[in-house]
Amino acid sequence: MRPDRPILYSFRRCPYAMRARLALHASGLDFEHRDILLRDKPASMLAASPKGTVPVLIRTDGSVLEESLDIMHWALGEHDPEHWLDGDPEEANALLHLCDGPFKHHLDRYKYSTRYEDADPEHHFSAAVALLGELEARLERHAQLTGPAPRLPDIALFPFIRQFANADRSRFDALPLPALQAWLDDHLGSDRFRTIMKKQALWQDPPVQT
């Protein structure tokens, strides 16, 4: 059955889900937000996306988007009132690759080192900080990563910088990255971020009729 409005399956603290919710909120599109627990995934979500990760978006034509960046681009392609898709696409793609590739690799092995065999959290912390230095250099030149106004890379990256910072906030705050720290605090303090982070009742599939 096709929904009468898009349905988003999400997990509140997942940075991938955060970036999807941020783009949907910015687009102004009407959608149904279904917050779930990753340890108790609803059958309706798994039927739409068997890989079982969030976010998952079911569009009104019945098609499914299973990647956060695909959801962001689709929502903003429908309506982009704040011009998040403006700018050089090659520059945006390079920043997204840095975040979702090497930075995420080091972030996971720093924050969740026990999940990875022979992972040295201090090595991965230092490697992640070196990558953050590239963002610091950008933010020393202008208020956002690609210019004066927020664009898609800012919104897509800051949930992951938040995750890195929250692993040890005092250690992050002591880093010589003042522009990045101010940028992160600005995004975390925004009305939009507070809105998309509000807790809501967890989705439960209706009972199966027999």
Per the rule left: phi > 0, alpha: psi between -120 and 50, beta: everything else, 120 is: beta
Domains and CATH numbers, the chain: 7-82 (3.40.30.10), 89-191 (1.20.1050.10)
Task: Look up tokens 């990045």; give the residue.
Answer: 180
pLDDT value at residue 208: 75
Q: Is 149 helix (H, G, I), strand (E, B) or coil?
A: coil
pLDDT value at residue 210: 65
How far apart are alpha carbons 107 and 105 in whole angstroms? 6
Determine which helix (DSSP H) or strand (DSSP E) holds 76, and give its type and residue range: helix 68-78
Backbone angles phi, psi at 169, to 5 degrees: -65, -40
Amino acid at residue number 197: M
Q: What is the mean pLDDT of each run of 10 residues along the chain (210 residues)?
A: 90 97 98 95 95 96 97 98 97 98 98 94 98 98 98 98 98 98 98 96 86
pTM above 0.75, yes or no: yes
Sheet with strand 7-10: strands edge to edge? 32-35, 7-10, 56-58, 64-65
CB neighbourhood size of 104 (10 A): 17
Backbone angles phi, psi at 7, to 5 degrees: -115, 125
pLDDT value at residue 207: 87
